[in-house]
Chain A
Amino acid sequence: MTAPARTGGGVPSPARSSKPRERSLKAVPAERRRSAAAERAYARRAQRTSPKRGPAVTRQQAVAPKAPFVVMVMVVLGVGIAAIMWLATQATADSYRLQDARAEETRLARQVDQLRREVALAESPASLADAAAKLGLVPAGDPARLRQLPDGTVEVYGKPSAVQPPPPPTSSSATPPAQGEQPAQGQTTQPPAQGQDEAAQQAGGGQTPPQG
């Protein structure tokens, strides 16, 4: 494959070239019989001319806009640095605030935990019963049940049983009531008992409760 390329390349080259340097080369007989000195001279000329001309022209053109560009870059850099510093400060300040907020959150979460625990303990039936006993309340006895008939009369089912006075076995709740509280206890237990008696009397006198 290499041989045809070489022959192909050799034939059209003389016809195409139009640049002066090429033309001068073409003047040399086909087999390039240039001496070493001529070779060096060409090289020297090439070194002298070609690299210098281009840059010299462009440098002259770039001189004018250099100063504003530098100023602009400096301004951009300055603004950038200032912005970065400001942001960094803000970030640090925020991280402190975040830390504070986290600490506050932990504290509040613990408080919620604590309160949840207290509420759960306070609303458990056992502690409610204790609290009620301390107020002098006793569990209700067997109630009677009333039914109002369409004609307005009331039927009584069952016989209400009187509530026992506060039981003595709960020593902790029995001892605390001081002298001041005793009459209050009497008041809370007696009137219901009377009321129940009345209800029972009414039941006996008015409607006869169907048994069973």
Chain B
Amino acid sequence: MPGPSRGRPVRRPLSVRGPAPRKRRGGNSRVRLAVGRLLLVGALLLAGIKLVQVQGFQAEALSAQAEQQRATKIDIAAPRGSILDRNGNQLAFSVEARALYVVPKRMRQEWAEALEARPEIGSFEKRIADMAAFIEQTLGTEVAGQKTDRDTMLAKLSQDTTYVELVDNVDPAKAAVITEKYHNIGSEYRAVRVYPNGELASNIIGAANWRKDAEPPATHGLLGLEIAQDNLLAGSDGLRIVDTMQGDDVVIPGPDRSRELAAATPGKSLELTLDVDTQYAVQRMVTDYTTKSKARSGSAVVMDSRTGEILAMANDKTFDPNDFGNATEDELRNIAVTSVFEPGSVNKLVTAATAIEDGVYQPDSVLRVDGSIKVADRRIGDWWQHGPMDMTFTGVFAKSSNVGTLMTAQKIGQDRYSDMLRKFGLGKRTQSGLPGEESGYVPPLNQWSGSTFGNLPIGQGLNMTLLQMTGMYQAIANDGVRIAPRIVRAEVSADGSRKEVNPADTERVVSPQTAKTVRDMFRAVVQKAPGPDAVAQSGTGVPAALPGYQISGKTGTAQQIDPKCDCYSSSQYWITFAGILPADNPRFVVGIMLDNPTEGPQSAAPLFHDIASYLTQRYQLPLSAEQSPIVPLVV
């Protein structure tokens, strides 16, 4: 074997010149190879160590750092849903707008630099004067209550600060005209909440405004349904990641520099049960009547008797949602659900319905009613002086006899009566979906004192909201089934799909037959008897009658509590009325409450008449087939 093979297998030389140089290379290459190999292995090892360090130990920190340098997360605000009435009329909706701003310090500095290069462009003062003039020319002198005249704008532009907002809620098209002409003026997205009906139903709808400090900036509710249903209306924000320059907010342009991770889900729209025309008419009537009667406050609720939907809910005081900052506490409240009162005789419905249901009396049963009745240690009289007299059971309620009612209540018994109060929905929230709803107060049976049962049947010693009071009559109008009232009819998604909102609660209170009997009995409340017996045979709510239609209802007068003596006042009253229209084929239930009216008839019956008259026209109710019969009240 020629050549130094050193035990390795001998290769066949390919070239004849092979062996000569090989001899020389032999020793050198071995060293070189070894060194090279060592270096490479060393480098690989180092690289490996660094790799493990970077990928393993520092990975999170480094990627976060890189992300921070490059990517900026931007929340995408979802468009806010609208609030609609039952016919699709818009009660609240959002439109796009712009806020114009400048960065005066930078603007001044940049202008100074430009001026040095080209002195002919004119002074900075002239520049901002031109700007101010152009803004006034484009926007007029006022935008949404903000002054945009030349002087105001000039004052803002010449401030020596880092950021000044010139004007808010600008029409985007006009904003574009301004920002195109003057690049120093920036425009920022805004959504403006529009309330086309102004004060109408504002205690229900509430108000929302633009939140600059929210993340992301968006419109959020502040009052009423706007805040109660804010999550639903606001939708959920989307997320976008953009690549930005380090230490700056400038987005690097390019197709892959902005990635939408999650699209914003637009807020749902709320379809309310309100009918805006009915609301307007009822609102006007309530406000007029409250003013005329010099009541502290007044409110009315109109409900669909078959579905429990609130068609109108009007308070005498409302506020302008575009200027809610100046509204008083009284104007902001929706007293129909946030304030409770003692209902007075309207509550006699519970006694009447229970007595009929239990067969205690029939409508034409005759009761011997004394001038007063003793319950525990108290003696309760009727609202008019009389000796013992014979009244029909219908007459007891038509004439609103306290004594007759209490006589009946005692036959019903405390347990049964307490149970019926609960069934009529008293003492707990109606879950109508209206914010700030009160539950009212019914004393629990185990806390009743002897005289409690002398108070409750005549509507004192317990309190309720106007909505609860109307709900009681709804049960009678709807053949004995009480349906929890509600204000939101459906939730409408941005793609148009509707989700109906079902009533929170449905409960049978009395049998259909009882409900009909009670409705027929309570028609006598508005009965006006002809002839010599007119006074004795007429009900307490004659002005509520609507010729051509059967009306069933009940008047109520409750003494308010005098805070001075902590006793019932003899000069201040809650005047209430609840009625069913038409009684023979119920469609609507109307509840009215006036807080201490001091002028005119101490009754809400005329207001009921006006509202009922409007409803028959608005919904084209056919006349009742028969008129309410005149029934004997006193025999």
Chain B residues touching A, range? 35 or more
Residues of A within 8 Å of B276, CB to CB, are 124-125
- A43 vs B17: C-alpha distance in the bound complex, in angstroms? 11
- Mark the stretch among B466-474, B540-548, B560-568 that contacts chain A: B540-548
A102 beta carbon closer than 8 Å to chain B: no
Q: How far is the CA of A114 from the CA of B97 in the complex (A)?
A: 10
A156 to chain B, nearest CB (A): 9
Q: A41: nearest residue on chain B (CB-CB)?
A: B16
Binary per-residue interface labels of chain A (122-143) against chain B in the complex, 1 for a CB within 8 Å, 0 otherwise: 0111100100000000011011
The answer on a CB contact under 8 Å between A145 and B196 is no
Instruction: Give the residues from 526 to 564 in chain B that come closer than 8 angstroms, CB to CB, to chain A.
Output: 526-530, 545-548
B16 adjacent to A211 (CB under 8 Å) = no
B628 and A212 within 8 A (CB): yes
- Whether the Cβ atoms of A157 and B547 lie closer than 8 Å is yes
With a cutoff of 8 Å between Cβ atoms, the chain B residues found around residue A142 in the complex are 609-610, 613
B161 CB–A CB distance under 8 Å: no
Cα separation A210 to B276 with both chains bound (whole Å): 34
Inter-chain contacts of B617 with A (CB < 8 A): 140, 143
| Beta-carbon nearest neighbor of A111 in chain B | B173
Interface presence of A6 (CB below 8 A)? no
Which listed residue, B173, B198, B281, B613, touches A107 by the CB 8 Å rule?
B173
B93 interfacial contact with A, CB 8 Å: yes
A50 to B93, CA, bound (A): 90
A147 pairs with B173, CB closer than 8 A = no
Nearest-neighbor residue (CB-CB) of A122 within chain B: B196
A120 touching B93, Cβ below 8 Å: yes
Residue in B13, B196, B530 whose CB lies within 8 Å of A211: B530
- Interface check B95, CB cutoff 8 A: yes
Contacts of A145 in B (CB 8 A): 547-548, 616, 623
Are the CB atoms of A110 and B172 closer together than 8 Å?
A: yes
Is the C-beta of A36 less than 8 angstroms from some C-beta in chain B?
yes
Note all chain A residues with C-beta closer than 8 A to B93: 116-117, 120
Interface residue from B15, B95, B280, B613 paired with A129 (Cβ < 8 Å): B280
> Is B58 interfacial (CB-CB < 8 Å)?
no
Collect the chain A residues with CB atoms within 8 Å of residue B173's CB: 107, 110
Given contacts A143-B613, A210-B627, contact A125 B277 (CB under 8 A): yes
Q: Is there an interface contact between B548 and A43, defined as CB atoms closer than 8 Å?
A: no
Q: A212 — nearest CB in chain B belongs to which residue?
A: B528
Taking the closest CB of chain A, its distance from the CB of B376, in whole angstroms, is: 39
Which of B198, B528, B610 touches A124 (beta carbons < 8 Å)?
Answer: B198
Interface contact A212-B545, CB-CB below 8 Å: yes
Give Cα A139 to B282, complex, Å: 13
Residues of B within 8 A of A210 (CB): 547, 627
Chain B interface (Cβ < 8 Å from any Cβ of A)? 2, 12-16, 89-90, 93, 95-96, 171-173, 194, 196-200, 276-277, 279-281, 284, 526-530, 545-548, 609-610, 613, 616-617, 623, 627-628, 630
Q: List 22 A-B contacts (CB under 8 A).
A: A39-B12, A44-B16, A107-B173, A110-B96, A113-B96, A120-B89, A120-B90, A124-B197, A124-B198, A124-B200, A125-B200, A125-B280, A125-B281, A126-B197, A126-B199, A142-B609, A145-B547, A145-B616, A147-B548, A157-B548, A212-B529, A212-B628
Give chain A's interface residues, CB within 8 Å of chain B: 36, 39-40, 43-44, 107, 110, 113-114, 116-117, 120-121, 123-126, 129, 139-140, 142-145, 147, 157-159, 209-212
